[in-house]
Amino acid sequence: MTALADIAQPMSETCSVAERMLKARKTVIWSIVGAGIVLAVLVLAGLGFGAVKISPAESLSIGLAKLGLPTLTDFSTRDDLILSAIRAPRTALGVMAGGALALSGAALQGLFRNPLADPTLIGVSSGAALGAVAVIVLGPPVAALLPPVLQAGLLPVAAFVGGLAAICIVYLIARHDGGTNIATLLLAGAAVTAISGAGIGLFIFLGDDQQIRDINFWLLGSLSGAHWQALAPATLLIGIGMVGVLRFGAALDALSLGEADAHNLGFDPEKLKRRLIVCCALATGAAVSLTGVIGFVGLVTPHIVRMLIGPGHRALLPTSLLLGGALMLAADILSRTVAAPAELPIGIVTAAIGGPFFLWLLLRGRAHGGW
């Protein structure tokens, strides 16, 4: 930040406040366009990479053909099948899950005024994990009672309910005298995460070998389970959550000055906290219920965006959403290619890259005296 400020210094005599504000507004547009382009490139890469290579032109043509439009090039039925049944839902899930996690991370960091906040911190992910693990171990006899249509939905629904239950407990504990104490909220999140961890440990202890493999796979996260039937309800929930969060750009800016200032600027901090937490819980709960636990995307993406375009939430929120989707797809491509034909769980990739990157951010922040 120091370097940027130094370069900007000589400009300050010639540059009026109006020009600066206009430039800031343009930054919002350009960062969204830029992140959108990065995301589009990675979507095409995600659709193309794999055992069968499908070129971007072919991917686009298959999409155009589905819409009944003229195609760019010929493609085989096999490619069509691979793309429609496997790669497209997987890519869609990657974009939505990455976007939901990164957007929630950006919003929660602003809400908690804490650059270390992310969706896992308020208990959503661990609650969802407990729900999923419970179904993996205890589910088979329950699933046998359900019609086949509902059996596949049991795990994501349990994960979603678990995530929502966790955040409800955390929120109720943090609520006191009509206010929400942020410190209590974070500590309650840590406690609920620990309790969920104990529950998960118990189920691992109870599970047989196959179940333990399934549990491990889920806890490390993966986009491989994506199919259209599960995506439809998740899309709705993630969409509601995202739209809800994106509206709070100006409010989050005000809130970063403290709750008192946000109040004096005409916002209602309590209402804001409540709505943001509900929206983030919906979006991340729905995403995690399909992907399993994927760390670091929610934590690191907002930091990258802040480093590139500054802390203003009007630009930060949509850009984090788009870039989070892009990062998730990049990690997925890596996870499919690093150990091909085997597939590495994506959570390993995001943690292996996100962890060191975050350490670098910390060292950089230390050298520059802050965030």
Binding site for another protein (CB under 8 A): 1-2, 5, 8-9, 11-12, 15-18, 20-22, 24-25, 110, 113-115, 250, 253-254, 256-258, 260-261, 263-268, 306, 310-312, 369-371
CA contacts within 13 A on the Cβ side of 359: 5
Q: CB 183 → another protein: shortest distance, Å?
A: 14
Nearer to another protein, 21 or 243 (CB): 21
Q: CB 277 → another protein: shortest distance, Å?
A: 17
Q: CB 254 → another protein: shortest distance, Å?
A: 6
CA 234 to chain centre: 13
Question: Contact at 8 Å (CB) between 292 and 135?
Answer: no
Question: Contact at 8 Å (CB) between 275 and 248?
Answer: yes
Nearer to another protein, 44 or 316 (CB): 316
Nearer to another protein, 258 or 356 (CB): 258
Query: Taking the CB of residue 162, how many other CB atoms lie within 10 A of it?
Result: 28
Q: CB 32 → another protein: shortest distance, Å?
A: 17
Record the tokens describing residue 37, joined without a space: 């382009």
Nearer to another protein, 341 or 370 (CB): 370
The position carrying tokens 């916002």 is 267
Record the tokens describing residue 185, joined without a space: 């909220």
Nearer to another protein, 115 or 241 (CB): 115
Nearer to another protein, 199 or 311 (CB): 311
Q: CB 5 → another protein: shortest distance, Å?
A: 6
Nearer to another protein, 162 or 311 (CB): 311
Q: What's phi and psi for 293, nearest 5 deg?
A: -80, 120
Q: CB 132 → another protein: shortest distance, Å?
A: 33
DSSP label at residue 68:
T
CB neighbour list of residue 241: distance below 8 Å, 6 or more residues apart = 100, 104, 279, 280, 281, 282, 283, 284, 286
Nearer to another protein, 15 or 69 (CB): 15
Helix (H, G, I), strand (E, B) or coil at 152: coil
Query: Using DSSP, how many helices (H) and how many strands (E) does the chain show?
Result: 17, 2
Q: CB 368 → another protein: shortest distance, Å?
A: 9
Query: Taking the CB of residue 2, how many other CB atoms lie within 10 A of it?
Result: 10
- How big, in percent rounded to 5, are the helix, strand and coil portions of the chain? 80, 0, 20
The CA distance from 125 to 172, in Å, is 18
Record the tokens describing residue 293, joined without a space: 């636990």
CB neighbour list of residue 146: distance below 8 Å, 6 or more residues apart = 154
Record the tokens describing residue 342, joined without a space: 């085997």
Nearer to another protein, 48 or 110 (CB): 110
Q: CB 143 → another protein: shortest distance, Å?
A: 46
Question: Contact at 8 Å (CB) between 349 and 277?
Answer: no
Q: CB 175 → another protein: shortest distance, Å?
A: 17
Question: Contact at 8 Å (CB) between 39 and 323?
Answer: yes
